Amino acid sequence: MDGDRRLPADPLDPRARLIALLGFVVVVVATPPRAAWPFLAYALVPAFFIGYERVSPRALARRLLFLGPLLLTVVGTRLLWFLLQHDSGQPTLQNEVWLLAVLGMRSGLAVLAVAAFMGHGDINRLAQGLRGLGVPAILTGVMEQAYRYWRLLWRELGLLRDAAGARGFRPRHLGDTVTLGRLTGSLLLRSLQRAERVHHAMLGRGFAGTFPTSHPLRWSRYDALFLLPALILPAAICAASHLVE
């Protein structure tokens, strides 16, 4: 996510990255859950690009952690349901564990693909790519602005919490949430005032609703070299998994 770094994959058209990501994920989700080998084979594709783009293991682990809550909910509910239904001739525990493993493999591969194909994604290029693929400009513009300001606002929220902590406020139970809300509300107030200032500054620089870009979108041979392994290899694995029983 360090937009300034010049990396080997920089010449790529952002549309190629997005198409590769979407194609890979759709193929992985469409693969029938018959055997583990196609999923292991798929992992080679993001693994190659993760190595090539030097994505840090910490960033990868952080992304994989996002899977935790919902995966745990599904595991818990499926296993509970299995225990309740076990006597009435429902699927075996082995089947349940296999289905949960497939869920984990599919979602894990998709997270790896995001890291591999968007690894050091520059937000401006990403927004440009999305616009190129037909996403409304207002949506990509809001996305760019949100990405620019969220860290700043998060830091400010931290400062507000530190200041409240210094005055003895420690949220311990649900009742403290209103106070937390008031803290957050003062940040929203500042954010909206900041938005007005940002708007005036942008108008001063000639903003008229769209962001100018220095690199126009253009397909190149790098995109073909990138898309071939990123799309054809997973498609071939998927086709083979359908053929091999």
Partner 1 sequence: MHIPDGFLTLPVAAATGVAAATAVGYAARRAGREMGESAVPVLGVSAAFIFAAQMLNFPVLAGTSGHFVGGLLACLVVGPWNGVVVMTAIVLLQALLMGDGGLTALGANVLNMAVVGGLLPWLLVRALGGSVRHTRTSYLAVAGVAAWLAVVLASATCAVELAVSGTAPLGAVLPAMVLVHSVIGIGEGLLTVGILGVLLSSRPELLRGYPPPLSLSPSPAGFRKRAWGVAVTGLVVAVLLAVFVAPWASSQPDGLERVAETQAFTDRATDQVAAQTPLFDYQFPLLGDTPWSTSAAGAMGTVVLFGLVVLLGRALGRRASPDGAEIGHDGT
Q: Of 180 and 221, which CB lies nearer to partner 1 in the complex structure?
A: 180
- Shortest approach of partner 1 to residue 220 CB, angstroms? 22
Position 72, amino acid = L
- Shortest approach of partner 1 to residue 225 CB, angstroms? 22
Residue 212's CB is within 10 A of a number of other CB atoms, namely 8
Residue 132's CB is within 10 A of a number of other CB atoms, namely 15
Taken in order 130, 135, 137, 142, the sign of the CA dihedral is negative
Angle (deg, nearest 10), helices 14-30 and 37-53? 160
Q: Of 182 and 215, which CB lies nearer to partner 1 in the complex structure?
A: 182
Residues 6+ apart with CB under 8 A from 209: 137, 141
How far apart CA 12 and CA 37 sit, in angstroms, is 30
- Shortest approach of partner 1 to residue 28 CB, angstroms? 7
- Shortest approach of partner 1 to residue 216 CB, angstroms? 21
Q: Of 22 and 221, which CB lies nearer to partner 1 in the complex structure?
A: 22
Q: Of 127 and 223, which CB lies nearer to partner 1 in the complex structure?
A: 127
